[in-house]
């Protein structure tokens, strides 16, 4: 009896702490959501609790600014292109480093690892100067930006995919070779499909960091029409000022893609983040 | 035949690695090398000819009190981030690692801020910290505490930013630590419970030492993050103000480059930062993994 009672109290304490932490985490976001559905008058009168009525005028107002469509399209374009490039070249490199030992393979791997630990944001000014010399700024800023974003995500991609390919047994590759597969075919038709679930996770993680990327875009993108969504949010902040309901609606709209992904793939995302620490 | 095979193998390796390596060289290595070169020049970014000045930029940097202030502030941010995120992440991870209903729910909720962009986080918390309509002051008002100028007062701004960045990032490190904890065999805990029933002793004498490598990864990521990712958040929320009270090194470099057009000088500071970070990473990895850190 004694013991049972003590254990129960411990559980109560544990659940209280976890509940408190969850409330502190989620309440600001809950506040943001309720804000987006308020009229401005409702917000000034009672900024807390539930709104009086679900008012969708803020979302309509945000949609009616033509620029947000541009920002969305720009974000989709840049994130999409970067994802395609980084997934292709990153998994190919990760695969090579997982299967072939040669002079310098360790150094190459450490070099990629370095760009993961000290990300390209640290050298954003040298990067900017170099892009300027390469002619990848101004009208061609998207080329420079995509290159920089590939560089930002490449280290993680090589690191994780190398881990996934290591988990696939050598016999499968040997069998494919015996069947007359070229190395490239063996990679695309045998190894890549086998590592599929890991690469899906990797792509989701990369999507999230690319979609949300801010500072490189800020430095590299020259004009408003070329803004991505995160830059667009600072634009809306400037335009709406303290019209918090409309600003909240803009934040929510920009956030929807990653939050949706999280709701569908939360198990995989969380497992992927956990694995990104191991696999070394 | 054998030799032939080796050459074709070499060709495969080269052609498979070349695409990734060329991006790496062009958008990481070359900027670093170029940054080192430019750090010896005086250049405003417009005039055709950068002017070679030797070590003058570094000399100027060492004698600029604002550089040292930013560096010290950034180091302070590192320790504040480590001191808040790491204990919180470890504590919550250990609570979540025990079985029980609802654990998945808590884990899902605590990780949510990771899904938001830094801009969304920054703008959201600017609204929270708004002196009149903000969530923070209205909550304080409920408890009868007077309003605080969260971001406008140079004594408070840094604390406010640390609160925001802790809210944003602790969930990520919590997940890392949970993954590390799940790799610790249950038998070790069973054996430890024969010795002591005190959960704190088990936590500090079993869990923490066995988590060494995972903690190391969090330490490196928080430290480099304080110089890299936090820059975006700080820039969105305060732009280094008020009166430079939140001007971390990245913001100092940005202002030197894009507001004052001291491109050569900004490159010198960036190169210095890169060297400092590389040293920190190298020392942490060495110090943290005496026996093994196999790749």
Instruction: Point out the residue among A14, A43, A251 whose CB comes nearest to the CB of B120.
Output: A251
d(CA B26, CA A99): 25
- Find tokens 């899906």 and name the residue: A200
Residue B112 to residue A44, Cβ atoms within 8 A: no
A92 and B19 in contact (C-beta within 8 Å)? yes
Which fold is adopted by the domain A66-277?
Answer: MetI-like fold (1.10.3720)
Q: Which of residues 69-128 of A touch B (CB under 8 A)?
A: 85, 88-90, 92-93, 95-97, 100, 102, 106, 108-115, 117-128
Is pLDDT above 80 for B155? yes
- Domain ranges within chain B, ordered by starting residue: 65-259
Please report the pLDDT score of residue B289 as a whole number. Answer: 63
d(CA B74, CA B249): 6
* Min Cα–Cα distance to chain B from A92, Å: 6
Mind listing the pLDDT tens digit for each residue in B56-115?
Answer: 999 999 999 999 999 999 999 999 999 999 999 999 999 999 888 999 999 999 999 999
Question: Which positions in chain A touch B238 (Cβ < 8 Å)?
Answer: none
Q: Which residue of B has its CA nearest to A45?
A: B133
Q: How many residues does chain B have?
A: 295
R_g (Cα) of chain B, nearest Å? 24
Q: Which neighbouring-strand residues pair with B52?
A: B41
Quick check: ipTM above 0.85? yes
A245 and A54 in contact (C-beta within 8 Å)? no
* Min Cα–Cα distance to chain B from A200, Å: 17
d(CA A32, CA B179): 31
Q: What is the pLDDT along chain A (280 residues), one digit of tens a residue?
A: 455 556 688 889 999 999 999 999 999 999 999 889 888 877 777 666 677 778 888 888 888 887 888 999 999 999 999 999 999 999 999 999 998 888 888 899 999 998 988 988 889 999 998 998 899 998 899 999 999 999 999 999 999 999 899 888 888 888 888 888 888 888 888 888 989 988 999 999 999 999 999 999 999 999 988 999 999 998 888 887 778 888 999 999 999 999 999 999 998 899 888 887 764 4
Going by C-beta distance under 8 Å and a sequence separation of 6 or more, which residues neighbour residue A116? A155, A156, A159
- Could you tell me the two tokens for B1? 């035949």
For the entire predicted model, the pTM comes to 0.91
Average pLDDT of chain B? 90
Q: Residue B242: is the preceding peptide bond cis (ω within 30°)?
A: yes
Q: Which neighbouring-strand residues pair with B41?
A: B52
Which fold is adopted by the domain B65-259?
Answer: MetI-like fold (1.10.3720)
Sequence-distant contacts of A270-274: CB under 8 A, at least 24 apart: A270/B107, A270/B108, A270/B111, A270/B175, A271/A201, A272/A160, A272/A201, A272/A202, A272/A204, A272/A205, A273/A205, A273/B111, A273/B114, A273/B172, A273/B175, A273/B176, A273/B179, A274/B175, A274/B176, A274/B178, A274/B179, A274/B182
The answer to whether residue A219 neighbours chain B at the CB level (below 8 Å) is yes
Going by C-beta distance under 8 Å and a sequence separation of 6 or more, which residues neighbour residue B247? B66, B69, B70, B73, B240, B241, B255
DSSP, collapsed to helix, strand or coil, labels residue A240 as helix
Q: Are strands B51-52 and B41-42 parallel, antiparallel or unpaired?
A: antiparallel
A27 and B166 in contact (C-beta within 8 Å)? no
Highest mean pLDDT: which range of A124-128, A182-186, B138-142, B287-291? A124-128
Residue B35 to residue A278, Cβ atoms within 8 A: no
Mean pLDDT, residues B1-18 taken together: 76
- Could you tell me the two tokens for B247? 């001007």
A120 and A152 in contact (C-beta within 8 Å)? yes
Tell me what percent of the residues of chain B surpass a pLDDT of 90.
66
Mean pLDDT, residues B28-38 taken together: 94
Going by C-beta distance under 8 Å and a sequence separation of 6 or more, which residues neighbour residue A44? B133
Question: Which positions in chain B touch A18 (Cβ < 8 Å)?
Answer: 92, 95-96, 102, 106
* Residue B285 CA neighbour count, 13 Å, CB half: 16
* Min Cα–Cα distance to chain A from B87, Å: 13
Residue B167 to residue A24, Cβ atoms within 8 A: yes
Please report the pLDDT score of residue A2 as a whole number. Answer: 53
Please report the pLDDT score of residue B1 as a whole number. Answer: 39
Q: Which residue of B has its CA nearest to A116?
A: B221
Residue A262 to residue B281, Cβ atoms within 8 A: no
Question: Which positions in chain A touch B271 (Cβ < 8 Å)?
Answer: 126
Question: Which positions in chain B touch A160 (Cβ < 8 Å)?
Answer: none
Residue A130 to residue B12, Cβ atoms within 8 A: no
Please report the pLDDT score of residue B10 as a whole number. Answer: 84
Nearest one of A54, A52, A47, A21 to A32, comparing CA atoms: A47
Q: Which neighbouring-strand residues pair with B42?
A: B51
Going by C-beta distance under 8 Å and a sequence separation of 6 or more, which residues neighbour residue B103? B96
Mind listing the pLDDT tens digit for each residue in B211-256?
Answer: 988 999 899 999 999 999 899 999 999 999 899 999 999 999 999 9
d(CA B172, CA B178): 10
């Amino acid at each position: 009896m004694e013991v049972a009672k003590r254990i129960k109290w411990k559980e109560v304490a544990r659940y209280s702490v976890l509940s408190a932490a969850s409330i502190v985490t989620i309440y600001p976001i809950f506040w943001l959501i309720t804000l987006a559905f308020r009229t401005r008058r409702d917000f000034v009168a009672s900024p807390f609790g539930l709104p009086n009525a679900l008012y969708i005028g803020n979302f309509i107002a945000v949609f009616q600014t033509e620029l947000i469509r541009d920002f969305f399209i720009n974000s989709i374009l840049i994130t999409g292109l970067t994802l395609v490039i980084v997934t292709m070249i990153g998994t190919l490199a990760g695969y090579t480093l997982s299967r072939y030992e040669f002079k310098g393979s360790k150094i190459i791997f450490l070099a990629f690892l370095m760009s993961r630990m000290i990300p390209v944001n640290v050298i954003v000014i040298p990067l900017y100067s170099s892009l300027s010399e390469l002619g990848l700024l101004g009208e061609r800023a998207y080329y420079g930006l995509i290159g920089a974003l590939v560089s930002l995500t490449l280290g993680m991609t090589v690191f994780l995919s190398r881990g996934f390919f290591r988990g696939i047994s050598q016999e499968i590759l040997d069998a494919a070779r015996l069947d007359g597969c070229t190395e490239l075919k063996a990679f695309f038709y045998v190894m890549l499909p086998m590592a599929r679930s890991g690469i899906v996770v990797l792509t989701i993680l990369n999507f999230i960091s690319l979609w949300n990327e801010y500072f490189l875009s800020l430095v590299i993108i020259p004009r408003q029409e070329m803004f991505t969504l995160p830059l667009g949010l600072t634009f809306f902040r400037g335009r709406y000022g303290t019209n918090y309901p409309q600003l909240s609606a803009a934040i929510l709209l920009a956030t929807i893609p990653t939050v949706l992904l999280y709701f569908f793939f939360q198990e995989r995302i969380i497992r992927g983040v956990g694995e990104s620490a191991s696999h070394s | 035949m054998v030799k032939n095979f080796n050459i074709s193998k070499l060709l495969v390796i080269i052609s498979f690695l070349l695409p990734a390596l060329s991006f790496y060289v062009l958008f990481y290595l070359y900027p670093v090398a170029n940054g080192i070169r430019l750090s010896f020049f005086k250049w405003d970014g417009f005039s055709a000819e950068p002017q070679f000045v030797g070590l003058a930029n570094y000399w100027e940097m060492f004698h600029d009190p604002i550089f040292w202030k930013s560096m010290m502030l950034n180091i302070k941010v590192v320790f504040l981030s480590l001191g808040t995120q790491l204990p919180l992440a470890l504590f919550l991870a250990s609570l979540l690692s025990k079985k029980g209903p609802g654990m998945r729910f808590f884990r899902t909720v605590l990780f949510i801020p990771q899904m938001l962009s830094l801009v969304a986080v920054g703008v959201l918390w600017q609204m929270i910290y708004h002196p009149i309509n903000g969530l923070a002051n209205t909550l304080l008002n409920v408890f009868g505490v007077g309003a605080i100028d969260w971001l406008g007062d140079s004594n408070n701004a840094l604390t406010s930013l640390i609160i925001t960045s802790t809210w944003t990032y602790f969930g990520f490190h919590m997940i890392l630590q949970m993954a590390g904890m799940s790799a610790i065999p249950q038998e070790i805990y069973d054996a430890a419970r024969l010795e002591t029933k005190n959960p704190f002793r088990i936590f500090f004498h079993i869990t923490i030492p066995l988590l060494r490598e995972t903690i190391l990864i969090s330490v490196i990521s928080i430290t480099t993050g304080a110089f890299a990712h936090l820059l975006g958040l700080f820039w969105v929320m305060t732009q280094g103000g008020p009166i430079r009270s939140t001007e971390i090194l990245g913001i100092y470099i940005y202002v030197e480059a894009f507001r004052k057009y001291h491109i050569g000088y900004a490159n010198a500071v960036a190169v210095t930062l890169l060297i400092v970070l590389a040293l920190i990473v190298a020392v942490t990895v060495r110090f943290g993994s005496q026996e093994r850190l196999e790749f």
